[in-house]
Structure 1
Amino acid sequence: MKYSTGSLIKSSEQEWEEVAPAIRRKITGYNDDLMMVLVSFEAGGVGEPHSHIHSQSTYVESGAFEVTIDGKTELLQQGDCFFVHPNIIHGVVCKSAGVLVDVFSPIREDFLR
């Protein structure tokens, strides 16, 4: 849902999309410059290593995740964050069920298809 002016968004009115085994996402809002996405993982869910042209900032809302960025891996838990520069390989493995809050700039147009 693209917003041209300020908007109030209720999570209960947004739908989850299954994107991989044990992983689903919900786009909460975006414009041409910025996108926020909730990504829910079951324990064992894997966000495969990948890269993209977008800057990404991620907040660990809940759970525990083994996060790998450019070959370095650390365990992050609720309240932790990570940042990924464009074109850097990164991925996650969910160790304890939880939710990541991803913010992208520019928007992930591939998520809208």
Structure 2
Amino acid sequence: MFSSYSRDGYKKALEGIEQKTLVHGDKTLMVEFRLRQGAVLPQHAHPHEQIGYLVSGRIRLRIGEEARELSSGDSWCIPGAAIHGADILEDAVAIEVFSPVREDYLP
């Protein structure tokens, strides 16, 4: 399966956070997140393993009891069921992959 870039298809996830599913297969799903400075992703958990790459910007990511400030080029892995959240320190773009596929993120 191939997917071509499009400026369309972004959905508001939360205030200051937009997301777009880029591509998905049977076992994984890739999402682009556009994050605005000052936005907050509240602490939450889900059964999906989640790996991410920060394309641009700066965020403070919390995974369990650990918090780390990340900048462009940094990456992370969040185990399934782990509590996590983020503060957006400056406008940012992140790419994340979820496994298994998040049905709620399917286009």
Q: TM-score, normalised by structure 1?
A: 0.89
Are the counterparts in 2 of residues 50 and 91 from structure 1 also a CA contact under 8 Å? yes
Could you list the structure 1 runs, at least 4 aligned residues long, displaced by more than 2 angstroms after superposition.
none
Distance in structure 1 (CA, Å) of the matches to 2:105 and 2:41: 15
2:31 and 2:62 map into 1 onto residues whose CA distance is 19
Q: Identity over the aligned pairs, expressed in percent?
A: 29
Q: In 2, distance between residues paired with 1:110 and 1:78?
A: 27
Q: How much does 1:10 deviate?
A: 2.1
What is the alpha-carbon distance in structure 1 between the residues aligned to residue 57 and residue 19 of structure 2?
15
**RMSD (Å) for aligned C-alpha atoms:** 1.3
| CA pair 65-30 structure 1, distance change in 2 beyond 3 A | same
User: TM-score with structure 2 length normalisation?
Assistant: 0.94
Residue type of the partner of 1:32? D
What's the offset of the Cα at 1:71? Answer: 1.4
Q: 1:94 aligns with which of 82, 88, 95?
A: 88
For 2:64, the equivalent position in structure 1 comes to 70
Q: Using the alignment, how far apart are the partners of 1:32 and 1:51 within structure 2?
A: 22
Displacement of 1:72: 0.8
Unpaired segments of 5 or more residues in structure 1? Answer: 1-5
- Between the two proteins, the alignment pairs up a number of residues equal to 107
Task: Give 1:112's aligned residue.
Answer: 106
Matches within 5 A, 1:39-50: 39-50=33-44
